[in-house]
Amino acid sequence: MSERTTTDRRTLLKMAGLGVGAAAVPATVAAQQTDPIPQVGAAPVPAPPAPPSSHDMSAHAAPAPTGEAPPAGYIFLDTEEAAFIETFVDTLIPADELSASGTELGVAAFIDRQLYSGWGRGNHMYLQGPFREGTPEQGYQLALAPADVVRLGIADVNAWVRKAHADNSFDTVDDAVRVEIVTALEADRIALDAVPTRVFFNMLFQLAMDGFFSDPIYGGNRGKASWKLLGYPGVGEMYSDKIAEWRNKPFRVEEPLSIQDMS
């Protein structure tokens, strides 16, 4: 793709940050302006995290964003990062006959809040070293909190795209190229400078899946779309008495129950 699209996601997000009407911004941003979603951590409880303390603001805190301030509807991602995340989740979860796109279902909002939370800051991670390269069985071995990994990885991928695709960024190349880039990241065929490619991709992929299938109280799975798609009855149901009757058959309920429905 030799030219940037006329109106890409980043342009729309900038417009949103400048106060342009909701009709001009992506569905996720517009919805969040009137429907704020609680901020949560990795072991979620439906309450906002405490503000960062002086202990949190250590050498391992997430680096400051390099782009503009968070656009409307986001609390962690800057404009460039938000455009990347929206494009990434829509590449994984495109709109089709089964569901809306990942962004429309709130997956980008879910990721934003996870990165802002105590989990994103690595509050419960050991980040004081020494750090050595470990085996896959040894798990996470970096000196970076999850928010650092995602923020630095986004910058690395966009830098790679600018070199490989005529000064475009990930959100401005066409759909086919985006699929190629995501596939290459998954296969570890793109070398990133600041973070291991596989760690970055796996973390962002898992966040996207969590946002798609999580309880809607955490920002993703808007309208319980994935639960309805799967036939999952929600948090207030048990399967044990239905296993025999519904084995190998589609199971559907009229409306799954979320945490908010139980309160």
Q: Where are the domains of the chain?
A: 9-226, 231-263
What is the average pLDDT value for the chain, to the nearest integer?
A: 78
Q: Residue 173 in contact with residue 1, Cβ under 8 Å?
A: yes
List the beta bridge partners of residue 257: 234
Give residue for tokens 């979320």: 258
Specify the pLDDT at position 261. 87
pLDDT at 83 over 50: yes
Length of the chain: 263
The single-letter code of the amino acid at 6 is T
What is the dihedral angle through the alpha carbons of 31, 35, 39, 44, rounded to the nearest 10 degrees? -100
- At residue 86, the 3 state secondary structure works out as helix
Give residue for tokens 């980043």: 10
Query: What are phi and psi for residue 39, nearest 5 degrees?
Result: -95, 135
Q: How do residues 139-169 score in pLDDT, each as one tens digit?
A: 778 889 999 999 999 999 999 999 999 989 9
Whole-number Cα distances in Å, 246 to 231, 249, 250, 251 = 11, 5, 7, 7
Give the torsion sign (CA, 225, 229, 233, 234).
negative
pLDDT band at 112 (very low <50, low <70, confident <90, very high): very high
Q: What is the Cα–Cα distance from 125 to 117, expressed in whole angstroms?
A: 13
pLDDT at 55 over 80: no
Q: What is the Cα–Cα distance from 54 to 121, expressed in whole angstroms?
A: 13
Residues contacting 123, CB < 8 A, separation 6+ = 41, 56
Q: What is the Cα–Cα distance from 207 to 114, expressed in whole angstroms?
A: 8
- Tokens describing residue 131: 């750090």
Specify the pLDDT at position 227. 92
Find out whether the peptide bond into 65 is cis, omega within 30 degrees of 0: no
pLDDT at 45 over 60: no
- Tokens describing residue 248: 């190998």
Q: Residue 158 in contact with residue 193, Cβ under 8 Å?
A: no
